[in-house]
Amino acid sequence: MSLVKLSLQELQRLFTCGEISAFEIARAYLLRINQVEPKIKAYITLTPKDQLLAQAEALDRSLKAWRKTEPMMAMPLAIKDNICTEGVRTTCGSIMLEHFVPPYDAAVVEPLRQQRFFLLGKTNLDEFAMGSSSEHSAFGPTKNPWKLTHSPGGSSGGSAAAVAADECVAALGSDTGGSIRLPAAACGVVGLKPTYGRVSRYGLVAFASSLDQIGPITKTVTDAAILLNVLAKHDPRDSTSATVPVPDFTKSTKRKDLKKLKVGIPQEFFTDGLDTEVERTVREAIAELERLGAQLCDISLPMTEHAIAAYYLIATAEASSNLARYDGVKYGFRSKETRDLLDMYCQTRAQGFGPEVKRRIMLGTYALSAGYYEAYYGKAQAVRTLIRQDFDAAFQEVDLIATPVMPTPAFPLGEKLKDPLQMYLLDMYTIPASLAGLPAIAVPCGFSSAGLPIGLQIMGRPFEEPLVLRAASAYEQATNWRKKRPVIR
């Protein structure tokens, strides 16, 4: 079996006991990337081959005397290109930051560096994480490893595709309204959006600050738990970072049953927009949860229908402010030969941002404008509170909530580009957990007749990632979906 097919857990074990060297890992992944990357286009920036091999050799040499390893040592990861990496350009998929090299590491990158992981490269995304298909990237779309004519979902499409195509063992993504879970489902891998505040946002280029959260995209649920162990930590540099205890998340993935757990099935998540194949597949998965010992329970989250509207006001309002700093003054792109200051601002932003980013900046600016604030931003915040209350009430009755991730399987590239609203509707099942700040995981649960993966979403109470991981892991081990891998051609 090829090295690149291994899970993070398996690779860790082989490396820790010295069966494989760092050099072998690096070489295997470089080879794999060399083979499939031209077809997938998961990466915006790849770490140069020589640099990676030199790093691996140095690591092996230093281990020769006394083999003391760290969990992430020599683990070949990919990082979404909106997470700052010192000395490695961080573009956010935008012309605006095409040549931007951060002078610092994001909080999540620090422990990885300390443990001497391998950064294989920075992965593609919708510009500034705004999109659900990875097509809104200034550097071209990423392809779905299961079907190259199809989108890998977005916005963390590069990370999900890289994991699915064995171009890395695991990856970091970011999720604002579904940007980890959607591409994970579309690419047949695991994606976990942690509770808002569980992982530091320091160094994550902000899209919508009250929603953004970094999380793992992995081959297995256990891998997600392993990575979350590294990511989850209180960070005084992020005022919204939570000061809750951090358990060992891998412990939760060892149970194989769901006994004594109540799983809610919200009727609002199985309505008109849902593709019949997806519905059937997800309902089968839910039945499997019952077979594993869970007690199913029909619930209602009545505010769900307003979630998309509220989200696209709040997220765009925050984005309009967060993206104001890209003005050509301090770093990043600046339009040349402009007449005066105003012209410099206008040209820089007209040329530096793509159409979707501009659309959202305009939406958000409008939502915050004098005279409209209450009707749009104010109302959206009120809806957000109601959605949170819906979940609070539901979680009085149940321990977890199971739903589809995406209303359809992966769709052909270009299909939804013409109609932004169709693209926005793809987030309908992932947005509620984002607005409520809940942990939610996407785990593969089957395939469409066209052979495209379908995902199951499991949501939990705030900071109950252990329970979410336990359910996802038990389901994963009871099914064989993970064993089916894409053949890239």
Partner 1 sequence: MTYEAVIGVEVHAQLRTATKLFCGCTTTFGLAPNTQCCPVCIGMPGSLPVLNKRAVELAIRAGLALNCTIRLSNRFARKNYFYPDLPKGYQISQYEAPICESGSLDITTNGHAKTVRIRRAHLEEDAGKNLHEGDAATSRVDFNRAGTPLLEIVTEPDLSSPEEVDAYLRALRDILKYLDACDGNMEQGSFRCEPNISVRPAGSSDLGTKVELKNINSFRFVKQALAYEIARQTKVLASGGVIHQETRLWDPEREVTVVMRSKEEAHDYRYFPDPDLLPVEISQEWIQELRQSLPELPAARAKRFVHDYRLPEYDASVLTASKDLADYFEACVRLFPNPKIVSNWVMGELLRELNARGIPAQRSPVSPECLAKLLQLVDEGTISLKIAREIFPELYASGKDPETLVHEKGLTQISDAQVLEQLVEEVMRQHPAQVDQYRRGKEAVLGFFVGQVMKASGGKANPGKVNELLRRKLASDTPSGS
Active site residues: 80, 155, 179
Among 57, 70, 238, 277, binds partner 1 (CB under 8 A): 238
The token pair that represents 371 in the structure block: 């005279």
What letter represents residue 266's amino acid?
A: P
Instruction: Please state the closest distance from residue 442 (CB atom) to partner 1, in A.
Output: 25
The token pair that represents 133 in the structure block: 């298909």
Q: Is residue 320 near partner 1 by the rule CB under 8 A?
A: yes
- Range in contact with partner 1 (rule: CB under 8 A) among 97-105, 151-159, 183-191, 250-258: 97-105
* DSSP states of 270-303: SSTTS-HHHHHHHHHHHHHHHHTTPEEEEE--GG
- Range in contact with partner 1 (rule: CB under 8 A) among 231-239, 297-305, 391-399, 419-427: 231-239
Query: Of 61 and 237, which CB lies nearer to partner 1 in the complex structure?
Result: 237
CB 480: neighbour CB atoms within 10 A? Answer: 8
- Residue whose pair of structure tokens reads 């009250």 in the numeric block: 210
99 to 138, contacts with partner 1 by CB under 8 A? 100, 102-104, 106
Residue count of the chain = 489
- Residue whose pair of structure tokens reads 């002078």 in the numeric block: 103
Query: Of 243 and 276, which CB lies nearer to partner 1 in the complex structure?
Result: 243
Q: Is residue 387 near partner 1 by the rule CB under 8 A?
A: no
Instruction: Please state the closest distance from residue 92 (CB atom) to partner 1, in A.
Output: 7
Query: Of 344 and 426, which CB lies nearer to partner 1 in the complex structure?
Result: 344
Phi then psi dihedrals of residue 78, to 5 deg: -115, 145
Euclidean distance between CA atoms 90 and 383, whole angstroms = 34
Q: With beta carbons less than 8 A apart as the criterion, state whether 263 and 297 touch.
A: yes
Query: Of 158 and 364, which CB lies nearer to partner 1 in the complex structure?
Result: 364
**Listed residue (2, 89, 97) closest to 47, CA to CA:** 89
CB 346: neighbour CB atoms within 10 A? Answer: 15
Number of residues in contact with partner 1 under rule CB under 8 A: 44
Q: With beta carbons less than 8 A apart as the criterion, state whether 136 and 157 touch.
A: no
- Range in contact with partner 1 (rule: CB under 8 A) among 130-138, 160-168, 234-242, 468-476: 234-242
Euclidean distance between CA atoms 365 and 359, whole angstroms = 10
Euclidean distance between CA atoms 9 and 435, whole angstroms = 32
Taking each helix axis as running N to C, give the angle between helix 8-16 and helix 22-40, from 0 to 180 degrees, rounded to the nearest 10.
Answer: 150
Q: Is residue 368 near partner 1 by the rule CB under 8 A?
A: yes
Instruction: Please state the closest distance from residue 359 (CB atom) to partner 1, in A.
Output: 17
Taking each helix axis as running N to C, give the angle between helix 465-478 and helix 221-231, from 0 to 180 degrees, rounded to the nearest 10.
Answer: 160
Q: Is residue 204 near partner 1 by the rule CB under 8 A?
A: yes
Among 32, 201, 219, 360, binds partner 1 (CB under 8 A): 201
Q: Is residue 206 near partner 1 by the rule CB under 8 A?
A: yes
Q: Is residue 87 near partner 1 by the rule CB under 8 A?
A: no
Among 111, 331, 338, 447, binds partner 1 (CB under 8 A): 331
- Range in contact with partner 1 (rule: CB under 8 A) among 6-14, 25-33, 157-165, 316-324: 316-324
Where along the sequence are the contacts to partner 1 (CB under 8 A)? 83-84, 90, 92, 97, 100, 102-104, 106, 201-206, 208-210, 236-240, 317-318, 320-321, 323-327, 329-331, 341, 345, 365, 368-370, 373, 377
